[in-house]
Structure 1
Amino acid sequence: MRPWPRPRTDGPIDLAQRFRDFAHREVNGNSPLYHRRALEIAEDPAVLALIAALPTAKQQPNLVLAAARVHGAIAVPYRDFREQLITHWPSIAATALTRRTQTNEAGRAATLLPVLARLPGPLSLIEVGASAGLCLYPDRYSNRYGALALDPADGPSSVVLRCTTTGAVPIPQRLPEVVHRAGVDLNPLDAADIRDREWLEALVWPGQDDRLSRLRDACAIAAANPPTLVTGDLNERVAELVDAAPGDSTVVVFHSAVLTYLPSAAREGFIAAVRTLPCHWVSQEGTGVIAEFTDRVPVRDSGRARMVLAVDGEPVAYAGPHGQSLDWFGPA
């Protein structure tokens, strides 16, 4: 019999709830397969013990499931998937240890666009936690807000972002002019590199064929006009990226679902530092990630995951995690 690794003392119980939360808050209604799979893993002590042997930061359901897909654990019946997972666990664990959940969702550009387009152009965009930098191209994607269509100046894009809206969303009449694209990441990905693209594709949830197609098209746009991506800690490198931006542009530092992965001290340090830089700050993070927003956003009537969109420290909307919705509560 295969010896199971000894789990951490709080591992299986907390980890099981982590997979249940992932099932109910994130993939429910978005990926039926991942919804079932996460709930099944939550009830499987042996598989939980394998995952619990990883460092806590590497126990993320999305990371583990993506690593499993890379190494062929893709069977639909859970019994077969479980066997594949156990058989290939050394390789799966190695990938989880070396990779990150760098879900580079171009769709988030649709929820960023209304606030970016309000700023005086031309824009220099700097993304922290940039992954492959796919959110740095809001001027190169087509957007559909209900019946309203916004396309690049040279015509419709291969990437079409569809976003439902509520409230007085300040939908722009034209896309902004972007003259500079840069970013920082602990492990920047290259949209032109096949292995990096394969990892990004593995992070797309099963059944989301539109997201997968969009990712591939967005990678093609980024590969044709690569951004400037630097390797390093965002707290250590964001200031130099701001300084390097063209002086005749409006500099915007932004991030989506990034601060949640930072320790609280590093998170607070970044927030304090970015406010001192000569730039605008646009954040798009999960509810509760930026503590000062907690009492400044309306109560939600849904338990599903949402991000809080804010400009220069002022919350203005709830955004769908993949840019699929924008519920505006800020000023018009």
Structure 2
Amino acid sequence: MDPVADIGADIAGSYRAFARHCAAGGSPAYARICEELAQDEEVLGLVASLPEGAKRQPNLLLGAVRFLGGPVQTWQAWREWLVGHWGEVRSVVLERRTQTNEVRRCATLLPVLASIPGPLALLEVGASAGLCLYPDRYRYSFDGGAEVGPAQSPVLLECATSGGVPVPDRVPQVVWRAGIDVNPLDAGDEGDVRWLESLVWPGEAEAVRRERLRGAASVVAADPPLLVEGDLVERLGEVAAWAPEGATLVVFHSAVLAYLPRERREAFERAVGRVRGRWVSNEGWRVFPGWENAEPVVDTDFTLAVDGRVVAYTGGHGQSVAWV
């Protein structure tokens, strides 16, 4: 076996898989680019020159190109720009991380959070800029119904439901919020917010997602959360201990653990089991495939679980929630 060829095949496979994800997620431009990239030996070689693991992620490379102003209209234009600006792209990839802060996921988390006796102390691992730490500061509309949440909020999160979702009539009371991230971002920093915008996929929903992100960043920048730099396994117990007495601690994460190797996911599961409070997981089903009912009908949906028990399947960008 040729190890170089094996690396190229692995990278090609990951980009083909991401192409399918983009096609299902409403980004045909990214789907085309990733499909073509998987067949281009020169570009595969460039990706293979990056450090193994997270730095070869499709979303990171695509985001770096957009951050630097590269095109996405066609594969040929994208390829020529990438090859011509590879040094700059490589620098951004090495400096940054995939830290998509899709605030709309709060809509799929809300039915769970509102059902937990409060007040709540929220601890998000993989928090990025902490936009999902403010479920009580956004407005919601489920299935086009009446809005829930503070009327003055600049952010409206719309979500479709099915399967008898217990749609709440209020937002939870949150008295403490903190996040852990290996590279916390600042919602008040223009460069950090622009990086988050660069991770938004091109497509019909792009403008709305950018507007939501900017609105949420303004909410967070006005009242910044406690964001702790560090490993989510190693620092979980320490930060969880800071939560105030009298509040229900909720440790949660969304589209985070998929970026960790299996042994670290298992280590996190053990660590969260030692923490007092509740655990809310919103991840691709392959993160914890052994859970009962882990696999959704739609492969690109996330699996929402409370304390290891699957309760719903959710759209990856927070657009839908289907109760189990």
Q: Please provide the CA RMSD for this pair.
A: 1.7
1:3 corresponds to which residue? none
Q: How far off is 1:251 after superposition?
A: 0.8
8 A contact 1:150–1:174 mirrored in 2? no
Q: Unpaired segments of 5 or more residues in structure 2?
A: none
1:29, 1:122 → 2: CA distance? 35
Q: Which letter does structure 2 place at the counterpart of 1:38?
A: C
2:67 corresponds to which residue? 70
Aligned 1:79-228 pairs, distance under 5 A = 79-153=76-150, 155-207=151-203, 208-228=206-226
The count of corresponding residues between Structure 1 and Structure 2 is: 320
- Residue by residue, what CA displacement relative to the aligned partner does 1:260-319 show, whole Å, maximum 9, x if unpaired? 1222222111111211211111011111101331xx11754434x111100011111111
Q: Unpaired segments of 5 or more residues in structure 1?
A: 1-6
2:323, 2:12 → 1: CA distance? 34
Is 2:315 the partner of 1:315? no
- SS of alignment partner, residue 286 of structure 2: coil
2:270, 2:318 → 1: CA distance? 26
Q: How far off is 1:75 after superposition?
A: 5.0
**Greater Cα shift, 71-80 or 280-289:** 71-80
2:146, 2:294 → 1: CA distance? 29
- SS of alignment partner, residue 161 of structure 2: strand
- SS of alignment partner, residue 25 of structure 1: helix
2:321 corresponds to which residue? 326
Q: Which letter does structure 2 place at the counterpart of 1:132?
A: A
8 A contact 2:254–2:283 mirrored in 1? yes
Decide which of 45, 49, 73 is 1:53's aligned counterpart. 49
- SS of alignment partner, residue 316 of structure 2: coil
1:228, 1:301 → 2: CA distance? 37
Is 2:222 the partner of 1:248? no
2:105, 2:275 → 1: CA distance? 24
8 A contact 2:120–2:176 mirrored in 1? yes
Is 2:302 the partner of 1:281? no
2:245, 2:67 → 1: CA distance? 43
Q: Which letter does structure 2 place at the counterpart of 1:113?
A: L
Per the alignment, do residues 129 and 298 of structure 1 end up closer, same or farther by CA in structure 2, a change over 3 Å counting?
closer
Q: How far off is 1:86 after superposition?
A: 0.4
2:12 corresponds to which residue? 16
Per the alignment, do residues 161 and 147 of structure 1 end up closer, same or farther by CA in structure 2, a change over 3 Å counting?
same
TM-score (norm 2): 0.94
8 A contact 1:72–1:84 mirrored in 2? no
8 A contact 2:30–2:72 mirrored in 1? no
- Residue by residue, what CA displacement relative to the aligned partner does 1:135-165 show, whole Å, maximum 9, x if unpaired? 0011111111103233324x15211111111
Q: Which letter does structure 2 place at the counterpart of 1:25?
A: H
- Residue by residue, what CA displacement relative to the aligned partner does 1:204-234 show, whole Å, maximum 9, x if unpaired? 0112111111001110000001000000011
Is 2:36 the partner of 1:35? no
In the TM superposition, structure 1's runs of 4+ consecutive aligned residues that sit over 4 Å from their partners are none
Per the alignment, do residues 299 and 81 of structure 1 end up closer, same or farther by CA in structure 2, a change over 3 Å counting?
closer
TM-score (norm 1): 0.92
Q: How far off is 1:8 after superposition?
A: 3.3
2:24, 2:166 → 1: CA distance? 29
- SS of alignment partner, residue 245 of structure 2: coil
1:268, 1:166 → 2: CA distance? 31
Q: How far off is 1:12 after superposition?
A: 2.1
**Greater Cα shift, 48-57 or 184-193:** 48-57
Q: Percent identity?
A: 50
2:322, 2:51 → 1: CA distance? 36
